[in-house]
Structure 1
Amino acid sequence: MAMVSQVNLHTWHGILSYNSMWGKPGISCNLCHCHQGYLWLHYIALLPAAKEDIATSIDAFLAIPENFKALQSFEARNDDIILAGYPKTGTNWLEQILKDLETTAGKYTEEEINSRNSIEKEVPMISRLEFGDEKQFQMMKKLPFRRINTTHILPQILPQSIFKNKAKILLLVRNPKDTAVSYFHFYNDMPLLQSFNTWDEYFTAFMNGKLTWGSYFEYLIEWNNYIADDHVMVITYEEMKENQTLGMKKIAEFLGFSLSDDEIQTIAEKSTFKAMKEKSPETHGLFGKIIFRKGIVGGWREFFTEAQNKEMDRKFEECLGGTKIGEKIKYGIYCKA
């Protein structure tokens, strides 16, 4: 595989160059072109406003008027599906499950499938809603079927049309200890993001929200204000891992999908974490092995010290203790040493 020092990414915003001196050495051309959103992610981390405090990077990106204006130009439909979740809570996994549920429930004819495939080829892929622009959002209006969009940003920053038009929002939540460990590996494995020298260094950054997407705790505190809405459903990574079929049935009911037990089971079998990891080179290219790592519950025990456990326990109680979203996480079951 040829290694390059600079790659030009052609986007609707123009040509964005990635130089290997900015990040980890040895990044390949294919990797850069694989996922537009992640290259933008590295770009925003380099903005002047974000250099001193990496936690402000997504805020700095959206603080640029044209970027925020582009995001707000997204016109949600009431049949849209918005998958929201803090990074490394399983959004890539659940996104594929949602696509399989929608496609199966649609009972599309061969002609409709061919038409759909043709339209999808015309519409540029948006890895995350926040990285779309006005031209892409205009093109998305052509999609005649239910649209599925994934996002990591706070609810108050999302396009207001999502709430005004009551698009269905599926909020995916994962316990903070496993989220922290998964995000640690993502940071150190992703060529476009900074690396941490040690787990201890990273843990401090996570606890203080000094990461590209900000604070895990702030994210859930804000979303807790929305989960009582009838167009919002919370599902946890842990319940999907324990009984994926039951979790999918709950999701299908919430989204109004009519599916038989056999159809649910077929989708469940082909969309287990293991199955998707094996298929990830095809679906996610070179990012596959980075995005789909272990997918287990409780892996945090290999990393957390006794002091870090106590610090996380205090932080969780302080921020999410007694909240509805905190109860959903079942911290006492999944996070106690």
Structure 2
Amino acid sequence: MTILQAGVPKSGNYWLYSIIKNILASAGEEHHSYIQQHPIQEQAKNWQLSFAGQSSMDFLSIEERCYCRLSGVFREEITDIDSYIKQSSQVWTHSNLNPLAKSILPKFNKIIYIIRDPRDVAISYSKFAFTEHKLKNGSPHYEQNPETYLENRIEEMTRQWVQHVGVYLKYQTELNIYPIFYERLLHSFDSELEGLLAYLEIELSPDAIAQIKHNVAFKTMKQQSPKHLRKGSSGQWQTKLSDRQKQKVEQVAAPMLDLLGYPPTQQDLPNLSKDIDRAAWESAIAFSHRSPLDQVQRFYGFLNSQRTISAKANLAKDWSLGKIKRLVKA
């Protein structure tokens, strides 16, 4: 069995990976790994990455081409995707469902997509952006601290979240994608695990399920990766975000939040209806697109943001170079 798990960064991807890994091991599924057989593994196993065991995980980046990646440290083009998938039992991706991805996903036996409230995702990512590993190996962001990162980027992070989540769910039926909510895993783990096992067509004994619950409990995983896991909670946005920040999210993501059953204030669990058609997903995605007025407001907000002159100059340079690269590729 070959499984692809996808999701926006900081949506509980590491937790989901651990759950699936434990399920496959408990079921006696034979394990295969492309990266574990790669020559880079001898060096990679000694690298200080984001979390324990990351160097042995198959991470796929699907852009204009496919790449095997180890965080921001190593990237190599995959020229034979069929061979890569054949050598991998469990693959992790953060990639958008772009045209190339649409042709590759059907090659996997199972596809699982994890969803987390974008307001909590933004808070978590703003903290992650200042971890030692991310500062050393990630692209420079020129922000001063997690608070200013969140203030300056929450709208854009939410916009990216809508478009990432929306496109995957738009093709849910066509690609047989199994969506799972981070919040429901937190608060209704037993029933969510039961649904996941049914999708994977795997039956486990009560003892095996109990062992999985122990292995993937937050306390257990926190001991293994203390720098990567922070709180393992949901709904922190209700007290962490300002009214202005909450409004920014609503202005971009209100229709998508509504489709997913995310509450505007109270902490209820999200719920995905089976009756949502493709037009509804397309409408929610379109709602997040920038209008000409949004572009002007974004530029005005950038000029008046709490960034140093040097940071603004560097960001402007990076955005300009990025735009040139995109135009050249087009």
TM-score by length of 2: 0.62
Query: Aligned pair in 2 of structure 1 residues 208, 219: CA closer, same or farther (>3 Å)?
Result: same
Task: Confirm or deny: 8 A CA contact 1:177 1:335 kept in the other structure.
Answer: no
From 162, 168, 185, the equivalent of 2:110 is 168
Query: Does 1:197 pair with 2:144?
Result: yes
Distance 1:302 1:91 in 2: 24
Q: Which moved more, 1:80-89 or 1:99-108?
A: 99-108
Q: One-letter code of the match for 1:312?
A: V
Q: What's the counterpart of residue 278 of structure 1?
A: 223
Query: Aligned pair in 2 of structure 1 residues 104, 136: CA closer, same or farther (>3 Å)?
Result: farther
Gaps of 5+ in 1: 1-78, 281-287
TM-score by length of 1: 0.61
Query: Does 1:218 pair with 2:163?
Result: yes
1:265-304 to structure 2, matched below 5 A, reads 265-280=210-225, 289=227, 291-304=228-241
Task: Confirm or deny: 8 A CA contact 2:123 2:150 kept in the other structure.
Answer: no
Q: What's the counterpart of residue 182 of structure 2?
A: 237
Backbone CA RMSD of aligned residues: 3.1
Partner of 2:14, secondary structure, is helix
Q: What's the counterpart of residue 103 of structure 1?
A: 25
Query: Does 1:86 pair with 2:13?
Result: no
Partner of 2:204, secondary structure, is coil
Distance 1:240 1:251 in 2: 10
Shift of 1:292: 1.2
1:1-337 to structure 2, matched below 5 A, reads 79-106=1-28, 121-123=36-38, 125=56, 127-130=58-61, 131-132=67-68, 133-134=77-78, 140=84, 143=87, 147-165=89-107, 167-189=109-131, 190-191=134-135, 192-193=137-138, 194=141, 196-198=143-145, 199-209=147-157, 215-229=160-174, 231-280=176-225, 289=227, 291-318=228-255, 320-323=256-259, 326-327=260-261, 329-330=262-263, 333-334=266-267
Query: Aligned pair in 2 of structure 1 residues 195, 186: CA closer, same or farther (>3 Å)?
Result: farther
How many residues end up aligned between the 2 structures?
234
Distance 2:175 2:234 in 1: 29
Identity %: 21
Query: Aligned pair in 2 of structure 1 residues 296, 206: CA closer, same or farther (>3 Å)?
Result: same
